[in-house]
Amino acid sequence: MARAAVQAIRWRRPLAGALALLAVTALPARGDDPQGLAHDMVGQWELATAERSKTCVITLKPDPAGGGAMKLELEKGCAEALPFTREIATWSIRGLDIVRLQDAKGEPVIDVTEVESGIFEGRRTGEGVYLLQNLAAARALAKSTDQLIGDWSVVRGNDRAICSLTLTNTEIAPDIFTVYLKPRCDPAVTGFGPVSWRLERGELQLISAKGEIWRFEADDNAQWRRVPDSVDPFILIKQ
């Protein structure tokens, strides 16, 4: 799954920089030991399916619950979204880097480990992968993606519009969405043939059927410039 390593984002453009700063400040500092990890995990987290179609907000608390476990609170609606969360009663740290959501007997309901900064991953047999992500960072990333959905013009450096396309919220893979080209696009665009898009590490990426990628960085809310830059760049402008 393509996922933003939020803490490593260094967007150079105004809008992207602001969103990255929000994500960075939302993430806890990483600890080098179990006690440090336990301290860092206190707060609100989003537990979700890999594609984020079903989510549950969990508040991890520092209060002891006995047997080395700590208390937690599940937001109303978690059991309906993710039925297995009905079993979750407490949380604990196992080893150096495992965050365990466990039942009343201390048995694991799901174990997660950090795969990117502020993003933990775990698997339940027969169900698949689940993600545990800092709530503020997860919502900031979702918001930034939502802002890109809609119609865009592809413009060359001389301000000549050469194509129109639509970035949709139709997910064809985790965090990858469909792109539709409108009629009468320039061969420079149709030759590349974008079929999907994603937001990855601060870049808006258009992806062709062959898996080739055009990368764009934000100039502002409504304009993204293809990188690396050139004297006659491709620019995406929100319509």
**Tens-digit pLDDT profile for residues 151-173:** 999 998 777 899 999 999 999 98
- For residue 63, give the amino acid letter: D
What is the rounded average pLDDT of the residues 139-146? Answer: 74
Q: In whole angstroms, give the CA distance from residue 238 to residue 110.
A: 42
**Range from 4-8, 52-56, 156-160 carrying the lowest mean pLDDT:** 4-8
Burial class (CB within 10 angstroms; exposed 0-12, middle 13-18, buried 19+) of 228: exposed
**Quick one: how far is CA 227 from the chain centroid?**
22
Question: 207 pLDDT exceeds 90?
Answer: yes
pLDDT for residue 152: 95
Average pLDDT, the chain: 83
Question: 105 pLDDT exceeds 50?
Answer: yes
pLDDT for residue 178: 96
**Quick one: how far is CA 115 from the chain centroid?**
13
The three-class DSSP label of residue 112 is strand
DSSP3 helix / strand / coil % (the chain, rounded to 5): 20, 45, 35
What is the rounded average pLDDT of the residues 112-135? Answer: 91
- Tell me: the pLDDT tens digits for 58-97? 999 999 999 999 999 999 989 999 999 999 999 999 988 8
Q: How many CB atoms lie within 10 A of CB 19?
A: 21
Percent of the chain with pLDDT over 70: 82
Q: In whole angstroms, give the CA distance from residue 30 to residue 33.
A: 9
Question: 13 pLDDT exceeds 60?
Answer: no
- Tell me: the pLDDT tens digits for 180-190? 999 999 999 99
Q: Strand locations in 5-127, DSSP E?
A: 43-49, 55-66, 69-74, 90-94, 98-102, 108-116, 119-124
- Tell me: the pLDDT tens digits for 144-155? 788 889 999 999
Cα torsion 223, 8, 174, 119 to 10°: value is: -140
